[in-house]
Amino acid sequence: MANAILARPDMAHLTLEYFALLRDEAGCACEEIETAALSLDALYEELKTRHNFTLPASRLRVAVNAAFARWDHSPTDGDHVVFIPPVSGG
């Protein structure tokens, strides 16, 4: 139980959806993951390593459950997370 304080034993189950360059680099539009990441920032670094994403977090925004979120937000079990590459609509 001392571990709980350091490592967060309750892994969060998340749905990730990818768009544009991130989708190409991840090789999928959607994936479900278990993560111990305590922030969206940490989550992106985890995924960046796994998928070799080329975009730094500084060029992205992030949304949780279809609303923009802060990078220090802590993802919760069941969250739907989308990292938003630079947009180019119009």
| Contact residues for other proteins, defined by CB under 8 A | 17, 19-21, 23-24, 58-59, 61, 63, 66-71, 82, 84-90
- Taking the least distance from each CB to other proteins, the nearer of 38 and 57 is 57
- Taking the least distance from each CB to other proteins, the nearer of 38 and 84 is 84
Q: How far is the CB of 77 from other proteins (least distance, A)?
A: 20
- DSSP string over 24-88: HHHTSSEEEEEE--SSHHHHHHHHHHHHT--S-GGG-EEEETTEE--TTPPP-TT-EEEEEPPP-
CB 62 within 8 A of CB 40: yes
Q: How far is the CB of 34 from other proteins (least distance, A)?
A: 23
Q: How far is the CB of 46 from other proteins (least distance, A)?
A: 20
